[in-house]
Chains A and B, each alone.
Chain A
Amino acid sequence: MDNLNFFTDYLIASLRLAVPLAFAALGGLFSERSGVINIALEGMLLSGAFASAVGAFFTGNVWVGLLLAIVIGGIVGLLHAYLCVSLRVDQLVSGLAINLTAVGLTSFWARILFNSGQAQKLPGIDAIAIPGLKNIPIIGSLFFNQDPLIYLLFLLVPLTTYLIFRTSLGLSLRAVGEYPRAADTAGVSVSLVRYVAVIISGCLASLGGAYLTLVHVNFFVEGMSAGKGFIALAALIFGRWHPVSVALACLLFGATEALQLRIQAFNLNIPYQFLVMLPYIIALLALVGLAGKSTPPAALGNPYIPESRDS
């Protein structure tokens, strides 16, 4: 029975660690499907983590924290979209600038607002058990006794899949990311689609950040996104820009993180660093084609210039 409990705990931990990754990766999916590279996911996660801490700290209400995270994430997304789409700044440079600025601004304001640099004891989001179903062994505690954000994620994955592959909105999104000139000719506004996609991307990644503060640890620490945005990017590559595969990739990376944390906690003499590396190595192998060839959307990274004839 103890072994079973340990196993169930491990699965739950894997799922919870996968949640911020999955929100950010789904966010990245919208952005990159529309043709805008988003290495700013890292900065968006951090902004969300910070905004939710501020909201929850000053109102004592987690939902205000979540709302603030979504708003701030949307603003960061808007900034990335403005730089990449309207100003045609190099998308990597824009992402890099956003990441650097997010680290600086959040840690600066954290020291001003929370004095010690971290918001002590924020309210957390409680789990909502689904009566009846929660009593099923393992599955019950894994899927039916979780916080609302996990339920939201369970809905979001099929919803995104449907939206992207089965609706005309999704078709526009993919067209803009694969062949913007054709989309433009067909009357789709490339700029508008990219703006919306990148803003959604900011909101979702920011929600992932809020999950870090409001569910994982209940406080804000400087630089707490700690590369999770890049792991999300790795999941996006490994999952080949498909919502279901991306979510599964996040689950895999969440499971390796949970394993790595257990190795450290129990002080086992296993080099856990190799587990930390795993997401990045898997993504590299996927890119090279050794783990199933991963091909990004064709127009990824290219600004769309209506008056020019190429691209």
Chain B
Amino acid sequence: MMTKKQPILPILLPILSPIVAIVSALLVGAILIAFSGNNPVTAYTVLFNESLTNYYGFGSTLTKTAPLLLAGFGVLVALKAGQFNIGAEGQIYMGGLGSTLVGLYLPGLPAWIHLPLALLGGFLFGGIWGGIPGYLKAVRGVNEVITTLLLNYVALNLVGYLVQQPLIEPGAPSPYSPLLAKTSWLPIILPETQAHAGILVGLIAAIVLWVMLARSPLGYQIAAVGMNPTAARYAGMSVRRTIILVMALAGGLAGLAGASEVLGLRHRLFDQFSPGYGYDAIAIAFLSRGNIAGVVATSLFFGALRSGANVMQRSANVPVTVVYAIQGLTVLFIAISFALERKFKFQGFFKPQM
């Protein structure tokens, strides 16, 4: 279908579509801001200046980027194998729980053992929460979309119960756990800000993930199952095993997002500690079209939106909720632009049938 005139377009398109979608969403956001009686240019300037160029603001952006990044990988890696992980939110909660248990009940360890163990606890709990739908999909053929979605609410309420009853700090005014042992905390990386090493965990995960997907047999199997499960089966791969593994890995990565939030920022387990990072993660993975660097860039953008929004509300008096509208519209526009791309016969990352 492609003519010789436009060889550059197919190469540019994967980056172009997300950018067009983001810009369109920002434009609609600008109209909304204007409706609220404010100047969109001022509002956006405040938002992005504060979140990207101001030292403290950038610290806050990194704090919000860390869980988005890890949870974004959790959705992305599942997508690589053709699995739709809507359950990152629940996996974040379970990950936070796993880290909390290690942080609370294994005191007296040196930090260089305690912190990795606490992260591992988060990874494992998240991994179990992702592995369950993986098992149900692989062995019993139950659609993972619905199961991961339903498990989100189970995890959310399980954590809600635990911090209100068995794990509650005695005498606490609202439900939260006692403070975790300091040896399990992620260190602060930008002095005098809240920015913690969770972002480094995310970047290390990015590298490990890239190597795994591009260079390891498991990565090859994941890609094969994602492209064509039937062919993968004929090639002698265990499709079931791959699906269970990839879902557990996905849950583990999202679990690390919860771990980073608990060990790096809050140092306690709170009821409803995630402000919907798991749902943003789906948008992030989708926007980045299966590209790991894309997840890093998109997470930073979403993190900046979240961190700059509060300042924008305070100094420009624009409701912070405009940011949620922009995020939703970004997903909407990216979905439309992918569909349009397909209409013009360019092969997107997502095939029409799952």
Q: Mark A102-136, 1 if CB is under 8 A from B, else 0.
A: 11110110111000000000000000000000000
* Complex CA distance for A302 and B84, rounded to whole angstroms: 14
Give the distance to chain B from A305, nearest Cβ to Cβ, in Å: 7
Q: Is A108 in contact with B325, judged by CB distance below 8 angstroms?
A: yes
- Given contacts A227-B153, A273-B160, A284-B147, whether A107 and B335 have CB atoms under 8 Å apart is no
Report how far A111 CA is from B140 CA in the complex, Å: 46
B161 touches A274 (CB 8 A): yes
- Given A234-B150, A273-B161, A303-B353, A108:B86 Cβ within 8 A: no
| Number of A-B residue pairs at CB separation under 8 A | 140
- Give the contacts of B304-354 with A (CB-CB under 8 A): 319, 321-329, 331-332, 335-336, 338-340, 342-343, 350, 352-354
Known contacts: A96-B279, A107-B321. The answer to whether A88 contacts B352 by CB under 8 A is yes
A104 engages B329 (CB within 8 Å)? yes
Interface presence of A83 (CB below 8 A):
yes
Q: A-B pairs with the 7 shortest C-beta distances?
A: A104-B325, A101-B328, A100-B328, A104-B324, A87-B339, A273-B161, A97-B331
Residues of A within 8 A of B200 (CB): none
Known contacts being A90-B350, A277-B153, is A100 close to B142, with CB within 8 Å? no
How far in angstroms is the closest Cβ of chain A from B319?
A: 4
Please list 17 pairs of residues, one from A and one from B, whose beta carbons are closer than 8 Å in the complex, sorted by A's number.
A39-B149, A87-B336, A88-B339, A89-B335, A89-B338, A89-B339, A101-B329, A104-B329, A105-B328, A108-B36, A108-B325, A237-B146, A271-B161, A271-B164, A281-B154, A289-B140, A303-B353
Contact across chains for A101 and B35 when beta carbons are under 8 A apart: no
List B contacts of A233 (CB < 8 A).
Answer: 146, 149
B283 at the A interface (CB under 8 A): yes
- A103 to chain B minimum Cβ distance, whole angstroms, is 5
Instruction: Give CA–CA (A296, B147) in the complex, Å.
Output: 13
B143 within 8 A of A: yes
Q: Is there contact, CB below 8 Å, between B328 and A102?
A: yes
Number of interface residues of A (CB under 8 A): 49
With an 8 A cutoff between CB atoms, is B145 at the interface? yes
Asked whether any CB of chain B lies closer than 8 Å to the CB of A98, the reply is yes
Chain B nearest CB, measured from A64 CB (Å) = 22
A53-B336 Cα distance, complex, nearest whole Å = 30
> Is B151 part of the binding interface, using a Cβ–Cβ cutoff of 8 Å?
yes
Return the chain A residue nearest B325 by Cβ. Answer: A104
Whether A311 pairs with B353 at a CB distance below 8 angstroms is yes
Q: A93-B335, A103-B324, A104-B324 are in contact. Are A280 and B150 (CB under 8 A)?
A: yes
Does B157 reach chain A (CB closer than 8 Å)? yes
Partner of B327, one of A104, A273, A303: A104
Q: Which of B151, B282, B354 contacts A96 (CB 8 A)?
A: B282
* Residue A201 CB within 8 A of the other chain: no
CB within 8 Å of A: which of B278-292?
279, 282-283, 286
B136 at the interface (CB under 8 A from A): yes
Whose C-beta in chain A lies nearest to the C-beta of B332?
A: A97
Return chain A residues, CB-CB under 8 Å to B117: none
For A98, what are the chain B residues with a Cβ–Cβ distance below 8 Å? 328, 332
Mark contacts of A67-105 with chain B using CB atoms, 8 A cut-off: 1 yes-contact digit, 0 otherwise.
000000000000000010001111011101111111111
Q: Is A287 close to B, CB under 8 A?
A: yes
Complex Cα spacing A301 to B32, Å: 33
Minimum distance in angstroms from B285 CB to a CB of chain A: 10
Q: Is the CB of B322 within 8 A of A104?
A: yes
Q: Is the CB of B335 within 8 A of A222?
A: no
CB of B165 within 8 A of chain A? yes
Q: Are A277 and B149 in contact (CB under 8 A)?
A: no
Query: Judging by beta carbons under 8 Å apart, are B149 and A230 in contact?
Result: yes
Q: Are A273 and B324 in contact (CB under 8 A)?
A: no
Per-residue contact bits, chain A 123-165, to B (CB 8 Å; 1 contact, 0 not): 0000000000000000000000000000000000000000000
Which residue of the partner chain, among B145, B321, B352, contacts A92 with CB atoms under 8 Å?
Answer: B145
A-chain residues with CB within 8 Å of residue B352 when the two chains form the complex: 88, 303, 305
Q: Does A182 contact B (CB under 8 A)?
A: no
Q: Contacts A92-B86, A289-B140 known; list 4 others, CB within 8 Å.
A: A87-B335, A96-B283, A230-B149, A277-B157
Q: When chains A and B are docked, how far (Å) is the Cα of A232 from the Cα of B266?
A: 33
A288 at the interface (CB under 8 A from B): yes
Given the contacts A89-B339, A303-B352, A273 and B328 also touching, CB distance less than 8 Å: no
The distance from the CB of B81 to the nearest CB of chain A, in whole angstroms, is 16
Tell me whether A288 and B136 are in contact (CB under 8 A).
yes
Which residues 258-277 of B have a CB within 8 angstroms of A?
none
Chain B CB within 8 A of A276 CB: yes
A270-B354 Cα distance, complex, nearest whole Å: 42
